[in-house]
A and B are shown apart, each in its own frame.
Chain A
């Protein structure tokens, strides 16, 4: 259960940080299920020898799974998960089994559009060494107090 206090539109201003959240350690046992859902059988995610042969320390966690933790960080905190309106992310570094991912966000702007109170945020994800693994933006709506 997510225990972070929920915010209202009036609480946020440019620079306000969204309460961070951490997930992990990442568990390789989910990678086969992930491959099946995605229909992505790339051995880079499943075969440690294949990954070693390509100079990697271990299999690489699937990118969409990394994304899931970053989006969950937002949607678990929102009053309603589908108050999310837009996301845009780019993959910056690989994630490996046993990594711990922390997710962060900071408000860029707040505005009203088409009767919705909207918030644009910078969002990013880091591993346990402080290296960024995902960077991007999210837009969501929040309820107003009044």
Chain B
């Protein structure tokens, strides 16, 4: 059964790239959920007056984009030997490096690599799987970089 396989074999695995479009609908939904309301997120003129090329997304949305890109690109069983339907997973530590502002309607290509797998013992045994990723823009420049840890209970 896939769940019983040693996840250390996953170290170095490159996850399938995923293109995330920061589309208007997602940005609008995000702003409505979090209530973030400063004008540079809603108005292009205000964003330009603040020194940005055009309307920006909130930096707080960046972790969502990164996690969403990862969750859309992976197959839990193939990539993490994890039974998502019956298993329990949680997010662990998240790190982000904000290379530049991110803009509404731009596309980013996320590519993740499994950096480490550490087995830990709490009330239950779990694997801490850390995935590092880069998000590059249409010019092949890194726009966002980070790492996220997934807690996969055994």
Chain A residues with CB under 8 Å of chain B are: 1-2, 23, 30, 33-34, 36-40, 42, 63-65, 67-69, 71-72, 75-76, 80-82, 84-91
Contacts and interface: CB of A to CB of B under 8 A. Distances in A.
B3 interface: no
B98 A36 contact: no
B95 A81 contact: no
Nearest to B25: A37
B34 A72 contact: yes
Contact of B93 (A38, A42, A90): A90
Interface of B: 26, 29-30, 32-38, 40-41, 50-52, 56, 58-61, 63-64, 67-68, 71-72, 89-98, 100-102
A33 B68 CA distance: 13
6 A-B pairs with the lowest CB-CB distances in the bound complex, closest first: A71-B60, A82-B101, A30-B33, A68-B60, A88-B95, A90-B93
Given A68-B34, A76-B38, A88-B93, A81 B64 contact: no
Contacts of A82: 52, 56, 59, 98, 100-102
Contacts, number: 104
Nearest to A134: B94
B29 A37 contact: yes
Nearest to A44: B88
Given A88-B94, A90-B93, A81 B40 contact: yes
A81 B59 contact: yes
Contacts of B52: 82
A68 B98 contact: no
Contacts of B35: 23
25 contacts: A33-B32, A33-B33, A38-B68, A38-B71, A63-B91, A64-B64, A64-B91, A65-B34, A67-B60, A67-B63, A67-B94, A68-B58, A68-B60, A71-B60, A72-B36, A81-B38, A81-B58, A82-B59, A82-B102, A85-B98, A86-B97, A87-B96, A88-B93, A88-B96, A90-B93
